[in-house]
Structure 1
Amino acid sequence: MSDLTGHAFDTPRKARIKGAADFMNHKGLPYFHTELFRFNGVSKTRGWAILSQDNELFDRQHHNNEGVSKQRGRPSVLSPKDLERCDHFLQDFGWSARSLTWAQLAEELDLDVSGQTLRIHMGSMHYHKCIAYSKGWVSRNLASKRKDWAKVMLERYPECSQWRRVRFSDEVHWSVGPEGKVRIIRKPGERYCADCIQHTLNRDDEKANQRQHSWAAVGYDFKSDLNFHTTKSCNGKMSLQVYRDQILEPIVKPWLQRGDDFVLEEDNDSGHGGGATKKRNIVKIWKEQNKLEHYFNCAQSPDLAPIENCWRPPKQFMSRFPHWDEFETRELALEGWQKVSQHFINEQVDSMPRRLQDVVDLDGQMTRW
């Protein structure tokens, strides 16, 4: 077994990682997986892959092990458990996993099959490769702005604990109708892929364009409800009035009134009071009157907003079920939102210094986050 750089990891090192994690979990001792991986000199992706291996899979490499039962007949090329591991690996490790070739993915997970065989089996689970859409490109100007922004924020807030005051907020839109089961291995920052859109309904059908809009915020030891709002905009864009009247006033204001100590992170959208607008900025006025501490994230930088990672579990959950009306859509979205654990959110928040450093190291290009 080797990491993406080709360095082999010996069995004793893998055993140390698994043994240390099992001991800490058994004793209920708090620890960070990233520190465990760093101590043993493995990457985060490689470390999680090692921990995801069960004993049977771990031991099957040793053909002379008397403790491993011998099986007669030709075994299945890939078991359902192997495919489940592939699915979890692709979903959990994002771009760093999805950017691998099929052959690299098979090697990464110690699957004794060719890349072509893995591609065929994963195709049965509706996984496909596609050419990266050009929207994933980060221009030189944007890359420079991202790098400068990351440097400033990293100098001001270099410690994980300093980011635990932040509540990262965002809107998300849920399609009414089948979300579709095709999951594309894309590069980060890409939103659409023209060749991979599933046209399951007639585009003249009004239902094809119906969407439900919601807003939420997450932070360290904090997770808001999924709050639905209405907007007259055909693309779901939130206006200043909608943001003030349906989000800030009924949701954020009670946090301030009860004395919560937090800073609200928002994207620099005109509806949030940012950007250039000729209208009277009623959102900016509201924030000043209510003394709301806030900051705008760097433009076009979803990898610097941990809440972006939190939308993935509910969207994956919803893709498993058709939802033809707004009521089913909302119920599934709420049920999917419940699957986002606080432990997962805390890990994303504590990753902020690492995210910023990755942006600096990559000269402003999109990161694996």
Structure 2
Amino acid sequence: MSDLTGHAFDTPRKARIKGAADFMNHKGLPYFHTELFRFNGVSKTRGWAILSQDNELFDRQHHNNEGVSKQRGRPSVLSPKDLERCDRFLQDFGWSARSLTWAQLAEELDLDVSGQTLRIHMGSMHYHKCIACSKGWVSGNLASKRKDWAKVMLERYPECSQWRRVRFSDEVHWSVGPEGKVRIIRKPGERYCADCIQHTLNRDDEKANQRQHSWAAVGYDFKSDLNFHTTKSCNGKMSLQVYRDQILEPIVKPWLQRGDDFVLEEDNDSGHGGGATKKRNIVKIWKEQNKLEHYFNCAQSPDLAPIENCWRPPKQFMSRFPHWDEFETRELALEGWQKVSQHFINEQVDSMPRRLQDVVDLDGQMTGW
């Protein structure tokens, strides 16, 4: 322990020194103050200063002592105004500003600090460096369609409350067996141990079990069960008959029969009765007969479907566990789906006006949603 006179010794140590001195004085026992100070690890100067502060206020540590001015630490290199400038710069100039290094950002704003110092101070505002999210390329033609579609929908439904009638639906495919390489626990020399080898599935014999297919819908204060279905397609694409017989009839129809007030959002896929064809089909006929209100999302626009955000938690949950057959895969998928909270879903639904505005602001390019 340093014996500098400016050191703020803790309250228990002060109490021990003063208590021992008071006891010795009360009993009339001879003692040397220097030995008392040395035993408690303080200098003679500091020890006498502690004994001279004979009141309860000075028994506290300096940072809790109202009678002592705070002199600890040096003044901050960057002022709150400097940090506010940095924050405003990042918000106003977007990607070009956020892709700068900390040192380049300090130079750009004429801050006389190193990049490391700026990084530490910006950390107080929760800024940090991370890998940029990667989004797919959008062609000029698709970008124009996305922007026009977003403008129309934003003009019709500008308020969050107007999107609370919508139930966003989607299919998701769960791979049997982990995708990619599995990280295992092993010691040096166990590289080729039988317990440390990842065996791939025999895809020729188990093509039918490569993936499990499920469908779900979410909305404001609404979350459906995760419903599994079967399809003959190798890539999991849903046919018109599968959609009608395994989704619309057993799942959506009961919602209509009990009087639920909702609009169903769907991918503009041929299996949902959409796509480029204008011909009547069994799904379109079913929707007309059952008076189902629905709309198709803009093509190739997962950022405009809040349910896409709801697949991430169960996917992440499933990646933590091995699942080598269809039963384990379904069980883990159902357990992961339960981890998607209604509060999270409500936040995603209420973000729809913001999502549409972001598409317009980015001229139809893919957004960060």
Equivalent residues of 1:202, 1:208 under 8 A apart: no
Which of 198-207 and 287-296 deviates more?
198-207
For the residues of structure 1 that align with 2:225 and 2:78, how far apart are their CA atoms?
A: 40
Which of 271-280 and 238-247 deviates more?
271-280
Equivalent residues of 2:169, 2:218 under 8 A apart: yes
Secondary structure at the aligned position of 1:214 is classed as strand
For the residues of structure 1 that align with 2:321 and 2:215, how far apart are their CA atoms?
A: 22
CA shift, 1:178, in A, is 1.3
Change (3 A) 1:68 1:101: farther
For the residues of structure 2 that align with 1:184 and 1:253, how far apart are their CA atoms?
A: 46
Change (3 A) 1:89 1:16: farther
Which of 287-296 and 21-30 deviates more?
21-30
Partner of 1:235: 235
For the residues of structure 2 that align with 1:213 and 1:113, how far apart are their CA atoms?
A: 55
Partner of 2:225: 225
Secondary structure at the aligned position of 1:131 is classed as coil
CA shift, 1:44, in A, is 55
Change (3 A) 1:48 1:67: closer
CA shift, 1:222, in A, is 0.1
CA shift, 1:165, in A, is 0.1
Partner of 2:304: 304
Equivalent residues of 2:10, 2:60 under 8 A apart: no
CA shift, 1:223, in A, is 0.1
For the residues of structure 2 that align with 1:24 and 1:304, how far apart are their CA atoms?
A: 79
For the residues of structure 2 that align with 1:337 and 1:23, how far apart are their CA atoms?
A: 68
For the residues of structure 2 that align with 1:344 and 1:174, how far apart are their CA atoms?
A: 22
Which of 324-333 and 121-130 deviates more?
121-130
Change (3 A) 1:306 1:135: closer
For the residues of structure 1 that align with 2:37 and 2:108, how far apart are their CA atoms?
A: 16
For the residues of structure 2 that align with 1:76 and 1:97, how far apart are their CA atoms?
A: 24
Aligned length: 369
CA shift, 1:107, in A, is 16
CA shift, 1:184, in A, is 19
Which of 85-94 and 95-104 deviates more?
85-94
For the residues of structure 1 that align with 2:287 and 2:334, how far apart are their CA atoms?
A: 28
CA shift, 1:276, in A, is 3.0
Equivalent residues of 1:45, 1:96 under 8 A apart: no
Partner of 1:135: 135
Change (3 A) 1:71 1:13: closer
Change (3 A) 1:91 1:147: closer
Spell out, residue by residue over 1:145-203, the C-alpha distance to the aligned partner (whole angstroms, 9 max, x if none).
00000000000000000000000000000000013578999999999999999995566
Equivalent residues of 2:133, 2:368 under 8 A apart: no
For the residues of structure 1 that align with 2:25 and 2:353, how far apart are their CA atoms?
A: 26
Q: Which ranges of structure 2 fall in alignment gaps of 5 or more residues?
A: none
Q: Which ranges of structure 1 fall in alignment gaps of 5 or more residues?
A: none
Equivalent residues of 2:15, 2:59 under 8 A apart: no
Spell out, residue by residue over 1:183-241, the C-alpha distance to the aligned partner (whole angstroms, 9 max, x if none).
99999999999999999556656469710000000000000000000000000000000
CA shift, 1:136, in A, is 1.1
For the residues of structure 1 that align with 2:99 and 2:274, how far apart are their CA atoms?
A: 34
CA shift, 1:108, in A, is 18
Spell out, residue by residue over 1:269-302, the C-alpha distance to the aligned partner (whole angstroms, 9 max, x if none).
0000001349751000000000000000000000
Partner of 1:86: 86
Secondary structure at the aligned position of 2:368 is classed as coil
For the residues of structure 1 that align with 2:36 and 2:87, how far apart are their CA atoms?
A: 24
Spell out, residue by residue over 1:253-284, the C-alpha distance to the aligned partner (whole angstroms, 9 max, x if none).
00000000000000000000001349751000
Which of 189-198 and 246-255 deviates more?
189-198
Change (3 A) 1:339 1:204: same
Equivalent residues of 1:216, 1:225 under 8 A apart: yes
Change (3 A) 1:356 1:177: same
Instruction: State the structure with more CA Rg.
Output: 2
For the residues of structure 2 that align with 1:315 and 1:364, how far apart are their CA atoms?
A: 28
- What TM-score does the superposition give when structure 2 sets the normalisation length? 0.61
Equivalent residues of 2:209, 2:325 under 8 A apart: no
Equivalent residues of 2:57, 2:65 under 8 A apart: no
Which of 347-356 and 101-110 deviates more?
101-110
Change (3 A) 1:85 1:64: farther
Moved over 2 A (4+): 1-135, 179-209, 276-280
For the residues of structure 1 that align with 2:168 and 2:231, how far apart are their CA atoms?
A: 22
Partner of 2:35: 35
